[in-house]
């Protein structure tokens, strides 16, 4: 059974945004009362929060797949989709988040820090939001974009004031148990401790934390034993306490060579940039197990040597508790010093490196040769998002995409890159959207014939004014009178005869009745 986990790969999937809605308002006597499709809701973000209540990544080891809610889709009557709920994942203080390439994304050094590790997708606009004076009734809406999906690596680095380092079975766990309320497993076989234990020590007014890490052996910095895994935990501790076993019966081992080997391992461990190398941190030495008579003798014998090397040395026994008090106060002094130093550093104005604001309107066009001629690939945050938002089954939506791309200058860029009509264009990396470029369709011809998004049904029905109707009436009357006059003239000229059923020189009775306009002057 795994009892402690300090490295977990999380598989995250943030919720996608909801689709926008296409809907037309209907009212009694007004069946086409304008677009009223609501927007889709945004997908929920996945947020990591450093929480002092959490001490292990075990929960994530057991269930590493986490996903947040998707946004709701928009509905008619201007109803917007609901927002997907944010998923908050609490992580222990001291967690470092890295992407799959090992690049550090965030370092949770303090409680209460937040990091949006997987942003949710954007909700799509409904046709109400897409309408404008030029586009009165869009017959399309935007799709929601998918949320961020991928893996991140969580690494837990213990944060403590003092780290206990030493060979396996030197008595590190015994020491933390004697000095604090921590209750680690203690036994006389190597690698009893498999994960760091934290304890809080009180020395007078000062309280500090102590981390008991698994034993180190030669080659630890290269990954031997459990070393490398656990040197990571030492990385976050401001002071080190070497626990040296003076009662070891193993051949070839003595406290001095133990210390040298451990120091060499600490020196070989690469700390992240900006941190003090492990060997340069304040260090004390505890010569342990002096309740054993030979050990006490050895400790007394070694003390001057170690002091000559510049170390403060304490002879202790975790069994008889001898020397623990002095050690505890000495450590508290070290801790206070380093805290004062840290406070001084914090007071200095910190240089905050912020990522450059992303100008997402930038895009690039690259030309790639292929079996079927050149492929023009368009890469950029905006074009790629727009493609995700497009419903390719809807011509109007595709047209809207074309308009947006043209407006961004993609057409121009394609021209410059040497694309001709019919060229293969792909938006996005890998399996992006491929289409044949038809420059005229997207820019001029289509726009000339009809502005996109106009529903002919919605065009205002033309009702002539009274003046117009009067003008029309007179026009019609004039035309009739003229036609009649012509007819009579022709009859008078004898173009018409009785065979046609007309009586020469007379006006048809119904014509007179109908219009009430006299034509008598003309024919008599
Ligand atoms: N006589 C004596 N034995 C001790 C003392 N301190 C620890 N021991 C014994 O040494 C053995 C190892 O102790 P641990 O505290 O488990 O040692 P450790 O350094 O944590 O070992 P790992 O976790 O394996 O790295 C146990 O059997 C302890 O009882 C001491 O002061 N005197
Ligand atoms: Mg131990």
φ/ψ (deg, to 5) at 119? -70, 140
Q: Does residue 522 sit in helix, strand or coil?
A: helix
Q: Which two tokens stand for residue 430?
A: 């890998």
Residues 6+ apart with CB under 8 A from 481: 517, 519
| Ligand 1 mutation target, pool 168, 169, 191, 195, most atoms within 8 A of CB | 169
- If you measure from the C-alpha of residue 318 to the centroid of ligand 2, how many angstroms do you get, rounded to a whole number? 13
Q: Pick the atom of ligand 1 nearest to 191's CA.
A: 24
| Mean pLDDT of the chain, nearest integer | 81
Domain boundaries, the chain: 1-156, 162-347, 364-453, 481-523
pLDDT for 510 beyond 60: no
For 35, other C-beta atoms within 10 Å of its C-beta total 27
Predicted pLDDT at 439? 67
Q: Is 199 flagged in the annotation as binding?
A: no
- Measured from the alpha carbon of residue 167, the closest ligand is 1
For residue 322 and ligand 1, the question of a CB distance below 6 A is answered with no
User: Is any ligand 1 atom within 6 A of the Cβ of residue 187?
Assistant: yes
Which residues, listed in sequence order, are joined to residue 436 by a DSSP beta bridge?
Answer: 424
Architecture of the 1-156 domain: Distorted Sandwich (2.70)
pLDDT for 443 beyond 50: no
Which of 3, 4, 173, 265 has the most ligand 1 atoms within 8 A of CB, as the residue to mutate? 173
List the structure tokens of 468: 């117009």
From the CA of 162, how far away is ligand 1's center (Å)?
Answer: 18
Predicted confidence at residue 476, as pLDDT, reads 92
Express each pLDDT in 457-498 by its tens digit. Answer: 555 566 778 888 999 999 999 999 999 999 888 888 876 665
Categorise residue 451: left if φ over 0, alpha if ψ from -120 to 50, beta otherwise: beta
Distance CA 333, CA 51 (A): 28
Is it the case that residue 75 has pLDDT exceeding 50?
yes
φ, ψ of residue 98 to 5 degrees: the values are -125, 155
pTM greater than 0.90: no
Which two tokens mark 447?
């726009």
pLDDT at residue 518 in the model: 44
Residue 199 token pair: 């304890």
Let me know: does 453 contact 135? Beta carbons within 8 Å.
Answer: yes
Distance 171 CA to ligand 1 centre (A): 3
Q: Which CATH number fits domain 162-347: 3.40.50.150, 3.30.230.10, 3.40.50.10800, 3.40.50.300?
A: 3.40.50.300
Å from CA of 168 to ligand 2 middle: 7
User: Nearest C-alpha to atom 23 of ligand 1 is from which residue?
Assistant: 193
Q: Which atom of ligand 1 is nearest to the CA of 188?
A: 27
Q: Is 192 in the pocket of ligand 1 (CB under 6 A)?
A: yes
Nearest CA owner, ligand 1 atom 22: 168
pLDDT for position 458: 56
Query: Average pLDDT, stretch 49-74?
Result: 88
**212 among annotated binding-site residues:** yes
The pLDDT, as a whole number, for residue 169 is 86
pLDDT tier for residue 225 given thresholds of 50, 70 and 90: low
Signed CA dihedral, 333, 339, 342, 344: sign only: negative
Query: In this structure, is the dihedral angle defined by the CA atoms of residues 32, 35, 38 and 40, taken in order, positive or negative?
Result: positive
- Topology of 364-453 in CATH? GMP Synthetase; Chain A, domain 3 (3.30.300)
Which ligand has the minimum distance to the alpha carbon of residue 164? Answer: 1
Collapse the DSSP code of 44 into the 3-class scheme (helix H, G, I; strand E, B; otherwise coil) and give the result: coil
- Probe target for ligand 1 pocket from 3, 4, 172, 186, with the most ligand atoms within 8 Å of CB: 186
For the record, the structure tokens of 433 come out as 């959207």
Contacts 24+ apart (CB under 8 A), 127-130: 127/20, 127/21, 127/22, 127/23, 127/35, 127/37, 128/23, 128/34, 128/35, 128/36, 128/37, 128/38, 128/78, 129/20, 129/39, 130/20, 130/35, 130/400, 130/453
Q: Is 166 annotated as a binding residue?
A: yes
Centre of ligand 1 from the C-alpha of residue 178, in Å: 11
Length of the chain as a residue count: 524
Task: Write the CA distances from 111 to 48, 95, 117, 119, 349, integer angstroms.
Answer: 11, 10, 17, 22, 21
Residue nearest atom 8 of ligand 1, based on CA coordinates: 171
**pLDDT tens per residue across span 146-184:** 999 999 999 887 678 899 988 888 888 999 999 888 788
Closest CA to 227 of 160, 167, 273, 282: 167
């Amino acid at each position: 059974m795994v009892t402690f986990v300090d490295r977990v790969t999380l598989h995250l999937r943030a919720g996608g945004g909801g689709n926008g809605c296409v809907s037309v308002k209907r009212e009694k006597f007004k069946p086409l009362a304008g677009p009223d499709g609501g927007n889709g809701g945004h997908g929920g973000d996945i947020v990591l929060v450093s929480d002092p209540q959490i001490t292990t990544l075990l929960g994530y080891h057991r269930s590493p797949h986490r996903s947040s809610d998707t946004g709701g889709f928009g509905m008619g009557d201007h109803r917007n989709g609901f927002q997907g709920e944010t998923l908050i994942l609490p992580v222990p203080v001291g967690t470092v988040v890295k992407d799959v390439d090992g690049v550090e994304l965030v370092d949770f050094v303090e409680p209460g820090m937040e990091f949006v590790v997987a942003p949710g997708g954007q909700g799509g606009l409904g046709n109400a939001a897409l309408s404008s004076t030029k586009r009165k009734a869009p017959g399309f809406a935007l799709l929601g974009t998918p949320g961020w999906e991928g893996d991140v690596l969580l690494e837990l680095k213990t944060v403590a004031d003092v780290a206990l380092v030493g060979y396996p079975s030197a008595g590190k766990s015994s020491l933390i148990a004697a000095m604090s309320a921590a209750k680690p497993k203690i036994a006389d076989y190597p690698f009893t401790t498999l994960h760091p234990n934290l304890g809080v020590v009180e020395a007078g007014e000062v309280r500090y934390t102590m981390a008991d890490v698994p034993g180190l052996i030669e080659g630890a910095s290269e990954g031997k034993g459990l070393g490398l895994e656990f040197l990571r935990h030492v990385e976050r501790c401001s002071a080190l306490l070497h626990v040296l076993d003076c009662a070891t019966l193993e051949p070839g081992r003595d406290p001095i060579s133990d210390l040298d080997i451990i120091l060499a391992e600490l020196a070989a461990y690469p700390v992240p940039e900006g941190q003090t190398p492990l060997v340069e941190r304040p260090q004390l030495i505890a010569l342990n197990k002096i309740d054993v008579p030979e050990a006490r003798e050895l400790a007394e014998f070694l003390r001057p040597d170690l002091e000559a090397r510049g170390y403060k040395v304490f002879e202790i026994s975790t069994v008889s508790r001898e020397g623990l008090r002095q050690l505890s106060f000495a450590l508290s002094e070290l801790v206070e010093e380093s805290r004062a130093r840290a406070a001084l550093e914090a007071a200095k104005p910190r240089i905050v490196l912020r990522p450059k604001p992303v100008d997402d309107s930038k895009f690039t066009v690259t030309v790639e040769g292929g079996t079927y001629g050149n492929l023009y690939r368009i890469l950029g945050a905006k074009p790629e998002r727009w493609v995700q938002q497009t419903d390719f089954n809807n011509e109007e939506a595709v047209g809207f995409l074309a308009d947006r791309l043209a407006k961004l200058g993609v057409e121009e860029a394609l021209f410059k890159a040497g694309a001709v009509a019919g060229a293969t264009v792909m938006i996005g990396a890998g399996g992006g959207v491929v289409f044949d470029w038809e420059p005229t369709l997207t820019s001029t011809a289509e726009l000339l014939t009809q502005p996109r998004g106009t529903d002919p049904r919605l065009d205002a029905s033309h009702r002539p004014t009274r003046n117009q109707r009067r003008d029309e009436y007179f026009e019609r009357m004039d035309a009739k009178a003229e036609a009649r006059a012509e007819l009579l003239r022709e009859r008078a000229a004898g173009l018409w005869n009785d065979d046609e059923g007309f009586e020469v020189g007379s006006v048809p009775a119904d014509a007179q009745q109908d219009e009430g306009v006299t034509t008598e002057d003309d024919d008599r």
